[in-house]
């Protein structure tokens, strides 16, 4: 998982060196060699963080990365969102949303007026490491995410029979996955606090909410390629792909 999120993993030699050093300084601490312990740890801290610690220099890796530039570009040059698609209108979704905290934080359109159609597009993010947070940091709307309270009105649209309500009606870290563009949405619990929603980005519920872009990270690109969405941009390093959701 760390390898997928960070785009690589230290080699065995690096892991072994770090383990040996940790054991050495632990011995110094337990044996009472205070000065040697402090000097060793201080040297390691300086060597591993003094020259590239992003919190002490800049946040360019968040705001000026290849991914950030494309997200900003697409969010700022987008044309007004199309009206609701046939069969799933924006107003029908909004009519079931109470004026309470259950309303989806991603911003469901409440009408088909120009003001509601001029809102920013919704991004559907597939991948580990919470790629939707990158979209939100840059001012965009994105699914999935960490949801509390649970967004019941949204999930009930994908689960009209209520078969999975016991899965999503709780606090959860929600991730999106897709195995087939034609399969009905499913909800599974991967871990105690995680829910995986297997749903196609072309689902009309998302289209009615203004979904326009799909961001797929690392291995998730393989499954999204099978859906057949048009590719807007593919990372030079192969870490992500941005797809468009055709207007319906």
Contacts of 102 (CB under 8 A, 6+ apart): 149, 150, 151, 152, 153
| Shared domain check, 97 and 139 | yes
| Shared domain check, 39 and 116 | no
Domain tally for the chain?
A: 2
Residues forming beta bridges with residue 122, ordered by sequence position: 141, 211
| Shared domain check, 129 and 161 | yes
Taking only the tens place, the pLDDT of each residue in 210-229 is 899 999 998 888 888 888 89
Residues forming beta bridges with residue 243, ordered by sequence position: 214, 231
Report d(CA 35, CA 90) in Å as an integer. 67
| Shared domain check, 49 and 66 | no
**Entry pTM:** 0.66
Q: Residue 64: its pLDDT value, please?
A: 86
Contacts of 46 (CB under 8 A, 6+ apart): none
Report d(CA 109, CA 85) in Å as an integer. 12
| Shared domain check, 132 and 12 | no
| Shared domain check, 223 and 133 | yes
Per-residue confidence band for 179, with pLDDT thresholds at 50, 70 and 90 = confident
Q: Residue 130: its pLDDT value, please?
A: 86
Taking only the tens place, the pLDDT of each residue in 53-112 is 666 667 777 888 899 999 999 988 755 444 333 333 333 333 333 333 334 444 443 333
Q: How many CB atoms lie within 10 A of CB 140?
A: 23
| Shared domain check, 51 and 68 | no
| Shared domain check, 82 and 189 | yes
Taking only the tens place, the pLDDT of each residue in 138-151 is 988 898 888 888 88
Q: Residue 33: its pLDDT value, please?
A: 95
For the cut 90, the answer to whether the pLDDT of residue 20 exceeds it is yes
Domain boundary among 57, 74, 99: 57
Per-residue confidence band for 8, with pLDDT thresholds at 50, 70 and 90 = low
Where helices occur in 51-178 by DSSP H, the ranges are: 54-57, 60-63, 66-76, 90-95, 114-117, 131-137, 152-158, 165-168
| Shared domain check, 65 and 53 | no
| Shared domain check, 225 and 155 | yes
| Shared domain check, 165 and 94 | yes
Report d(CA 177, CA 196) in Å as an integer. 7
Taking only the tens place, the pLDDT of each residue in 192-214 is 788 899 998 988 888 888 899 99
Taking only the tens place, the pLDDT of each residue in 120-144 is 889 999 988 888 999 999 988 898 8
Query: Running DSSP on this structure, what letter comes out for residue 85?
Result: B
User: Domain limits at 27?
Assistant: 2-57
Domain boundary among 36, 57, 78: 57
Look up residue 200 and give its two tokens.
Answer: 């196609």
| Shared domain check, 108 and 88 | yes
Report d(CA 248, CA 202) in Å as an integer. 10
DSSP, collapsed to helix, strand or coil, labels residue 206 as helix
């Amino acid at each position: 998982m760390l390898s997928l999120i960070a785009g690589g993993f230290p080699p065995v030699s690096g892991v072994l060196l770090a383990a040996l050093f940790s054991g050495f300084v632990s011995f110094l601490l337990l044996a009472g060699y205070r000065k040697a312990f402090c000097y060793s740890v201080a040297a390691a801290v300086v060597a591993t963080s003094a020259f590239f610690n992003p919190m002490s220099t800049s946040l360019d890796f968040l705001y000026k990365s290849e991914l950030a530039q494309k997200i900003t570009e697409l969010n700022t040059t987008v044309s007004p969102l199309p009206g609701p698609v046939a069969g799933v209108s924006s107003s029908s979704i909004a009519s079931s949303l109470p004026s309470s905290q259950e309303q989806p934080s991603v911003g469901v359109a409440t009408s088909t007026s120009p003001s509601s159609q001029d809102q920013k597009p919704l991004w559907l993010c597939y991948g580990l490491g919470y790629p939707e947070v990158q979209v939100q940091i840059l001012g965009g709307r994105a699914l999935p995410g960490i949801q509390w309270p649970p967004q019941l009105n949204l999930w009930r649209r994908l689960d009209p029979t209520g078969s999975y309500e016991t899965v999503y009606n709780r606090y959860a870290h929600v991730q999106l996955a897709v195995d087939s563009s034609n399969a009905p949405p499913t909800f599974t619990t991967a871990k105690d606090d995680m829910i995986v929603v297997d749903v196609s980005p072309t689902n009309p519920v998302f289209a009615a909410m203004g979904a326009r872009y799909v961001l797929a990270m690392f291995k998730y690109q393989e499954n999204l390629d099978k859906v057949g969405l048009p590719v807007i941009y593919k990372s030079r390093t192969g870490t992500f792909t941005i797809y468009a959701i055709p207007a319906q």
